Structure 1
Amino acid sequence: MNHSAPRLLLAAGAIMALGLTACTSGSSESAAAGATAAGDSGCADVVATAQKDVDAASKSDTLWNGPTTGPKAAAGKTLVYVAQSMTNPGVAGVAKGLQEAAAAIGWNVKVIDGLGTPAGIQSAFSQALTTKPDGIVIGGFDPKTTAAQVAEANAANIPLAAWQALSTPGPSTDPLLFTNITTKVEDVAKISADYVIAKSNGNAGVVIFTDSSIPFAEGKSQMIKKELETCSGIKVLEYDNVPLSDVSARMPQEVSSLLSKHNEAWTYSVAINDVYYENAAAALRAGGVKAGGGPFNVGAGDGDSSALQRIKADEYQAATVPSPLKSEGWQIVDELNRAFNNEPASGYVPQIHVSTKENTTATDAWDPVGYQDAYRTIWGK
């Protein structure tokens, strides 16, 4: 893959359709030379460290390093998964893992879709409370947006386990959560930025896609920006705020505008979620960008199956830092089983991985090897 090859000039039809402005560029040899120079002047150490970290995180067949001991399965529990939006592939992927784990331990799970809006999520959480479940799972939204419902669950002694609800993993006292299951956001942000630094040899023009309305997402994207700026040859061209709820409607025009404004200076993207690239492909194609060419798109989560399929096929995504979605669903069940048995949370934090074309799997998912057997052994199942 030639990361410094110039982008093709826009076709006349694409110009008319998208209102883009084409411009000429230098040779690929001069671009490559620029990348080498950037790596050799002021950024060589950063590039070397980034490459070492990316290589370590890209290893295949990563073994389970989570809990191996805990309480046996509590009997006959019912959980409700309040989903931020089941159109969010990460949220849906965790739901699938949760359902598989519940079947393995002998519990029931109901999924209520919040439809991606504050009002919808509040309504879904209220519906969950009316069913009087044994436990509730907060699926990918900020608990502060449902403060009244969280307080009601706390008052009823219903344990709350969350997935990517807060920026830090583990138990929380404000809001009161038994645990929050997530990779360390600072590690995800750093490795996604390091991928860009390493693969560009320290010479890239980067667009960051974020959702500033979500504190977790805004914090992640600010960390990405900070890490990119540790290399003097990396230029952040745009910090583009596109709310997740608007991605499908806004991304085509956003991409068209960015191509028109930056053209070949735009060589990499980093987004807080892979879903941004699902909605960018048509505009990139219409703008004269060949699949497998720059801008090389990197996801800082969640690594759902559609993202891994795009990466495998070189379809406008180069890499992602996936959450181990299914094993996180299993972890939610294990954590709530600990709550039901009056034991503390496990303290386990899912490991960091980088998925690329070279290490994608036939299942279009990434999870550490052996997690299901480990949890079944703990539960006595």
Structure 2
Amino acid sequence: MSSSRLAVLTTALALALTACSGMSAAPTPTKSPVDYSAQALQATQAAISGTYHEPSSQPRPAARNKKLAVISSGQNAISSLVPASAVMEAAATIGWDAKLYDGKLDPKSWPGLVSQAVANGAQGIVLVAVDCPAVAQPLAEAKAKGIKIVGIFAFDCNDVLFGGTAPSLFSSYVDFGPPVNRNIADFSQLYGADQANTVIAQTDGKAKVVLVTDNEFTSIRHTIQGFRDTITKCTTCSIVAEVDIKAADLTTPAAAASVLKVLHDHPDANAVKSPYTAATLAAVSPAVMKSGRAASLYVMGGEGFEPELDLIRKHEGLSAVTVIPSDWYGWAAVDTVNSLFIGQQPADSGLGWQLIDDEVNPPSNNAYKPTIDFRSAYRAAWGRAD
């Protein structure tokens, strides 16, 4: 989003709100193109400013002499590497003995890693992109022993996408603040909705989207649901095609070829949505560049890890990302486990996201850094500010 484009959006927002007199700051979604364009523009403005806030300042004294296990789906994936490493950093800060178990993106290994953690005396477990059903049996054993279980980009066995009837095995979720609190599904869907709002705003309410998905991952399914539901609120917008890729295909030319074919088949498309960073790098960005339409496509990326920021800086097939600071999420997970240890409800983490492109909140030559010093906030809450 260029600065001149932002000025146009701001003017359009003012005009739309004038046309829709009486609209509140949080209007009820409607089917009117003018009304929904106004809502999309409002959401985009909020995402530019950032939807996160300071973590709760409520004192949460550090529990002493605790052993934490961090089960990562795979440290060879940046979406697991960053938050898992942040958990280890936060655990060291709070004074715990923490051990990282690397699942190497092999789901068959994950149950054994949970069992190892239990056998090694873990008192808390943080699952990073490892959903409950994949490790249900050892997780049930961990819960029976009183071990505190929290997830990062991970979903409990009773999630609606798993049928909603299995027993819950997580101790709690990170608290994302109002209005969703500890509902990771709603948080993920709101995140996807905000990405859709930006696409709607950037295409003047005429989005024709190629939606790239990966239905292997529950977090992606929730995010895509929020994106899809929001696009349908714009009566002059549509999803013209969907491409369901698989993580295994990202090491071959197959995923990029699939996206490129859809772009060729749909010359009317003016926007693309990528599911996550690895897919952007291996499939979406290469396809957009090879299509010869990079200048006319608005491409919304995945989580906004550093390699995606590089693509934005270089104008290589990616227009923008909405970044959830994954290192902050790692610290919030440790804070949640600590609250459980000391018998408190998890505190508001302040987590949210921010819209990044080449001119609005432009990325520097490294990973994204939020404007809030969440590390200092958590150290103060834990009594570790020295």
TM over 0.5, shorter chain: yes
Q: Compared with structure 1, are the counterparts of its residues 63 and 287 closer, same or farther at alpha carbon in structure 2 (3 Å cutoff)?
A: closer
Q: Which secondary structure does the structure 2 equivalent of 1:318 belong to?
A: coil
The 5 Å alignment of 1:153-164 reads 153-164=142-153
Displacement of 1:361 in angstroms is 3.9
Once residues 76 and 151 of structure 2 are traced to their aligned partners in structure 1, the CA distance between those partners, rounded to angstroms, is 18
Displacement of 1:72 in angstroms is 1.3
Displacement of 1:42 in angstroms is 5.0
Letter in 1 for 2:304: G
Q: Which secondary structure does the structure 1 equivalent of 2:233 belong to?
A: coil
Give the aligned partner of residue 133 of structure 1.
122
Once residues 52 and 353 of structure 2 are traced to their aligned partners in structure 1, the CA distance between those partners, rounded to angstroms, is 12
TM-score, normalised relative to structure 2 = 0.79
Please list the CA deviations of residues 234-275 of structure 1 after superposition, one character each: whole Å capped at 9, or x if unmatched.
12111222133433433221122113312x322211233232
Please list the CA deviations of residues 3-28 of structure 1 after superposition, one character each: whole Å capped at 9, or x if unmatched.
xxxxxxxxxxxxxxxxxxxxxxxxxx
Once residues 127 and 119 of structure 1 are traced to their aligned partners in structure 2, the CA distance between those partners, rounded to angstroms, is 14
Q: Which secondary structure does the structure 2 equivalent of 1:364 belong to?
A: coil
Give the aligned partner of residue 256 of structure 2.
252
Displacement of 1:43 in angstroms is 1.6
Report the aligned-residue RMSD: 2.6
Give the aligned partner of residue 287 of structure 2.
283
Letter in 2 for 1:226: D
Displacement of 1:94 in angstroms is 0.6
Give the aligned partner of residue 54 of structure 1.
44
Runs of 5+ in structure 1 lacking a partner?
3-39
Once residues 248 and 294 of structure 1 are traced to their aligned partners in structure 2, the CA distance between those partners, rounded to angstroms, is 27
Once residues 208 and 315 of structure 2 are traced to their aligned partners in structure 1, the CA distance between those partners, rounded to angstroms, is 20
Give the aligned partner of residue 195 of structure 2.
192
Please list the CA deviations of residues 104-145 of structure 1 after superposition, one character each: whole Å capped at 9, or x if unmatched.
222232222222232132233233223221211111122112
Q: Is the 8 A contact 1:135 1:159 kept in 2?
A: yes
Q: Is the 8 A contact 2:336 2:347 kept in 1?
A: yes
Once residues 253 and 75 of structure 1 are traced to their aligned partners in structure 2, the CA distance between those partners, rounded to angstroms, is 53
Q: Compared with structure 1, are the counterparts of its residues 213 and 266 closer, same or farther at alpha carbon in structure 2 (3 Å cutoff)?
A: same
Indicate yes or no: 2:65 matched with 1:76: yes
Once residues 298 and 38 of structure 2 are traced to their aligned partners in structure 1, the CA distance between those partners, rounded to angstroms, is 20
Once residues 52 and 350 of structure 2 are traced to their aligned partners in structure 1, the CA distance between those partners, rounded to angstroms, is 14
The match for 2:134 among 145, 153, 160 is: 145
Give the aligned partner of residue 305 of structure 1.
306
Please list the CA deviations of residues 183-221 of structure 1 after superposition, one character each: whole Å capped at 9, or x if unmatched.
811210110100110000011221112222334422321
Letter in 2 for 1:217: I
Q: Which secondary structure does the structure 1 equivalent of 2:105 belong to?
A: coil
Letter in 2 for 1:229: T
Q: Compared with structure 1, are the counterparts of its residues 63 and 116 closer, same or farther at alpha carbon in structure 2 (3 Å cutoff)?
A: closer
Displacement of 1:350 in angstroms is 1.6
Q: Is the 8 A contact 2:357 2:363 kept in 1?
A: no
Please list the CA deviations of residues 138-169 of structure 1 after superposition, one character each: whole Å capped at 9, or x if unmatched.
1112211211011011112111111121288x
Letter in 2 for 1:241: D
Q: Which secondary structure does the structure 2 equivalent of 1:58 belong to?
A: helix
Q: Which secondary structure does the structure 2 equivalent of 1:238 belong to?
A: strand
Letter in 2 for 1:59: S
Displacement of 1:346 in angstroms is 1.9
Displacement of 1:286 in angstroms is 3.0
Once residues 268 and 336 of structure 2 are traced to their aligned partners in structure 1, the CA distance between those partners, rounded to angstroms, is 46
The match for 2:297 among 295, 312, 332 is: 295
TM-score, normalised relative to structure 1 = 0.80
Q: Is the 8 A contact 2:320 2:356 kept in 1?
A: yes
Give the aligned partner of residue 360 of structure 1.
362
Once residues 72 and 230 of structure 1 are traced to their aligned partners in structure 2, the CA distance between those partners, rounded to angstroms, is 45
Once residues 241 and 174 of structure 1 are traced to their aligned partners in structure 2, the CA distance between those partners, rounded to angstroms, is 30
The 5 Å alignment of 1:1-381 reads 43-59=33-49, 64-166=53-155, 174-181=167-174, 182=184, 184-249=187-252, 250-262=254-266, 264-280=267-283, 281-290=285-294, 293-299=295-301, 301-348=302-349, 350-357=351-358, 358-362=360-364, 363-381=366-384
Q: Is the 8 A contact 1:142 1:166 kept in 2?
A: yes
Q: Is the 8 A contact 1:116 1:245 kept in 2?
A: no
How many residues were matched structurally? 336
Displacement of 1:100 in angstroms is 1.9
